[in-house]
Amino acid sequence: MDIGIIGFGGVSKAFIKLLLDKEDSLNKKGLDIRVKYIIKSNGGIYNKDGINIKEIVDRDYSLVDSDFKEDINIHNIVDNSDIDILVELTNTNIETGEPGLTHIRLALENNINVVTGNKGPILLEYKKLKSIADNNGLALGIGCTTGGALPSINVGNYDIAGSEILSIEGILNGTSNYILSEMYESEVEYKDALNKAISLGIAEANYKLDVEGYDTASKILILANVLMDANLSLKDISIEGIDKVKKEEILEEKARGNKIKLIGKVYNRNNKVSAYVRPEVITKEHPLYFVDNKNKGVSYSTDTLGDISIIGGASGTVNAAASILRDIVNINRGIK
């Protein structure tokens, strides 16, 4: 199987390393993955016989060598049409979706399957992209966009097939959940917990999208649109983050045996799908009560299979990379 990688941040690098580490075990399962393109914003590498990824890992992911050409971009992939899957991992932009949106659209229009971890294009244009994919008999793998290693899309697509989803509820943002857990456990104010998250590298530079609820909102919207056939965008839902949660509220609920969690929820009432993101008090009976620290979890309420919850899935670039590989392995099996 021939692939191209576009975008060259932490997940792409971890993915290349993972391909190297898993080479033998993938070969044993009949999957031989050749990387033909690695493209970043200012150019890239193309090798029609497959790039030597061991060399790239060995020289600490430096792409600047004799093979690097400034004019290599998505159009080379489209023109050559010599890969089976485009792995799209450019930075997320939840306002325009670009440049990922164009990359994904061009690939699908030109008979190339896509696997992506880029929330922007999926949040904004899933329906359109999916219909291009369907019309061309292609797969659009988006498992990484809604929790990385946590297989939330897969569970909704395959594990509850034949059943109607009544609602989906999730703790979907590791940073926010860590901060709330820290406030609960160490009984500190939001600011102190945030600072600890920053100092530990759990909260990233753009942590505002996390703590203000936009990351959770993006994920729950993707789940709603993909799994409940909704057509929601960010402006359709109320979003409240954790940045105004007070220590006192958390301690008051703790005394009652409850917790406050940042919940993203989407539900179908009278054939209308609605969604929200907000900090909610949850009791010990709630299926996500024990999803603490950086952990994530999603709970699906269904008509015939009961409530099914999926919890865990490590957070990190390696694990996000493994979720990209998961989609590739499943596409190789013919799963769309």
* Structural contact between residues 289 and 117, judged by C-beta atoms closer than 8 angstroms: no
44 token code pair: 């890239």
Instruction: Return the residue of 22, 32, 59, 280 that touches its own copies, per CB under 8 A.
Output: 22
Nearer to its own copies by Cβ, of 20 and 64: the residue is: 20
For 235, counting Cβ atoms within 10 Å of its Cβ (0-12 exposed, 13-18 middle, 19+ buried), the class is exposed
308 lines the binding site for its own copies (CB under 8 A): yes
Q: Is 219 a catalytic residue?
A: yes
**Which one of residues 51, 112, 140, 155 is an interface residue with its own copies (CB under 8 A)?**
155
The answer to whether 299 contacts its own copies (rule: CB under 8 A) is: yes
119 is in an annotated binding site: yes
Using rule CB under 8 A, residue 194 touches its own copies:
no
What phi and psi, each to the nearest 5 degrees, are found at residue 276? -150, 165
Does 48 contact its own copies by CB under 8 A?
Answer: no
DSSP 3-state assignment of 30? coil
List 53, 149, 183, 221, residue binding its own copies (CB under 8 A): 149
Is position 28 annotated in a ligand binding site?
A: no
Residue type (1 letter), 104: I
Work out which of 59, 158, 231, 246 binds its own copies, going by CB under 8 A: 158
Q: What is the CA radius of gyration of the chain?
A: 20
Q: Which stretch binds its own copies (CB under 8 A): 244-252, 256-264, 272-280, 304-312?
A: 304-312
How many residues interact with its own copies (rule CB under 8 A)? 46
Helix 10-21 with 317-332: angle, nearest 10 deg = 60
Among 24, 25, 70, 255, binds its own copies (CB under 8 A): 25
- Cα dist from 183 to 21, 176, 283, 292, 296, whole Å: 38, 11, 17, 11, 17
Rounded Cα distance between 238 and 216, Å, is 12
Catalytic residue among 17, 36, 40, 219: 219
Strand 259-269 and strand 165-171: the pairing is: antiparallel
- Integer CA distances (angstroms), 63 to 22, 39, 46, 166, 281, in order: 22, 9, 11, 48, 49
Q: Which stretch binds its own copies (CB under 8 A): 40-48, 55-63, 198-206, 306-314?
A: 306-314
Which of 97, 287 has the CB closer to its own copies? 287
Binding residues: 119, 204
Footprint of its own copies (CB under 8 A): 18, 22, 25-26, 149-151, 154-155, 158-164, 287, 289-290, 299, 304-315, 318-319, 321-323, 325-326, 328-330, 333-336
Catalytic positions, written as ranges = 219
